[in-house]
Amino acid sequence: MTTLQKTVMIIEDEPEAAELFGEMMRVNGFRVMKMFSSAPAIPMIIQEKPDVIILDIMMPDISGLEVLRYMRREPDLVSIPVIVISAKSMPSDIKTGLEAGASLYLTKPVGFLELKQAVEQVLQKA
């Protein structure tokens, strides 16, 4: 493993989607961490400080939006780019996600190239 390898944390409650996103990122040379619940993800974000987070909004415990809002209040986490990927695709949903602090908001289903470009885009801005 190279020291330059970037870490992507995927917070997604659907194992198939998490695995798909993870594989997309591994193929592009990223170290991948997967979390299937948002509550335990918060301490892991604090501990690991991943380079980018892929976050689902509709989670069984704490909403992805709450995780995002928490991160944007924390000085150590505020600069970590977050790409929201959600089935919630209404303009008001997208607006809410961006206002909560998402770097980008993608709607499911997400293709390989779209996700790759989104991650590259937010990492360039970081």
Domain borders along the chain are: 7-121
Which CATH fold would you assign to the domain 7-121?
A: Rossmann fold (3.40.50)
- Rounded to whole angstroms, the Cα distance separating 7 from 88 reads 26
pTM, to two decimals: 0.95
DSSP class of 50:
-
For the cut 80, the answer to whether the pLDDT of residue 47 exceeds it is yes
Question: In this structure, are strands 52-55 and 104-107 parallel, antiparallel, or unpaired?
Answer: unpaired
Average per-residue pLDDT for the chain: 94
> Per-residue pLDDT tens for 79-112?
999 999 999 999 999 999 999 999 999 999 999 9
